């Protein structure tokens, strides 16, 4: 596996993870694809090669592969939580709406 392709896969997994963490739309799709990409990156760490000036050499990722596994597991847990209805929590959305309403009420009182 070429190093650049692997880095592009990590970039895609990072974008998908950011999407399901902060945007919270289409959770089933983004969490599943993020988990798949993180898992694929974790599995392919042993065969990484860097192509430079006509020759290839192996790239050692080391402990970074455990971070990849952690993100894969986190994405799988988020997928399972979204399927079972635990993620995103409903009360957090209600609390943010209440705090927004309070801040709007306080700003109108001060005028």
Three state DSSP letters for 40-88: HHHHHHHHCEEEECCEEEECCCCCHHHHHHHHHHHHHHHHHHHHHCCCC
Between CA 55 and CA 33 the distance in angstroms is 33
The answer to whether 60 and 45 are in contact (CB under 8 A) is no
Q: Quote the pLDDT of residue 105.
A: 65
Identify the residue with better confidence: 38 or 26. Answer: 38
Q: Quote the pLDDT of residue 21.
A: 86
pLDDT grade, residue 27 (50/70/90)?
A: confident
What is the CB-side half-sphere exposure of residue 3 using CA atoms within 13 A?
10
Q: What is the mean pLDDT of the segment spanning 60-68?
A: 89
Domain boundaries, the chain: 1-109
């Amino acid at each position: 596996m070429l190093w650049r392709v692997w880095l592009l896969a990590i970039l895609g997994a990072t974008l998908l993870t950011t999407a399901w963490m902060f945007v919270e739309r289409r959770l089933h799709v983004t969490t599943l694809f993020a988990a798949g990409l993180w898992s694929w990156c974790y599995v392919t760490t042993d065969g990484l090669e860097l192509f430079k000036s006509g020759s290839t050499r192996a790239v050692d990722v080391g402990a970074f592969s455990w971070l990849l596994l952690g993100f894969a597991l986190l994405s799988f847990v988020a997928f399972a939580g979204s399927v079972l209805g635990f993620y995103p929590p409903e009360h957090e959305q209600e609390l943010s709406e209440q705090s927004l309403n309070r801040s709007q009420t306080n700003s109108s009182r001060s005028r």
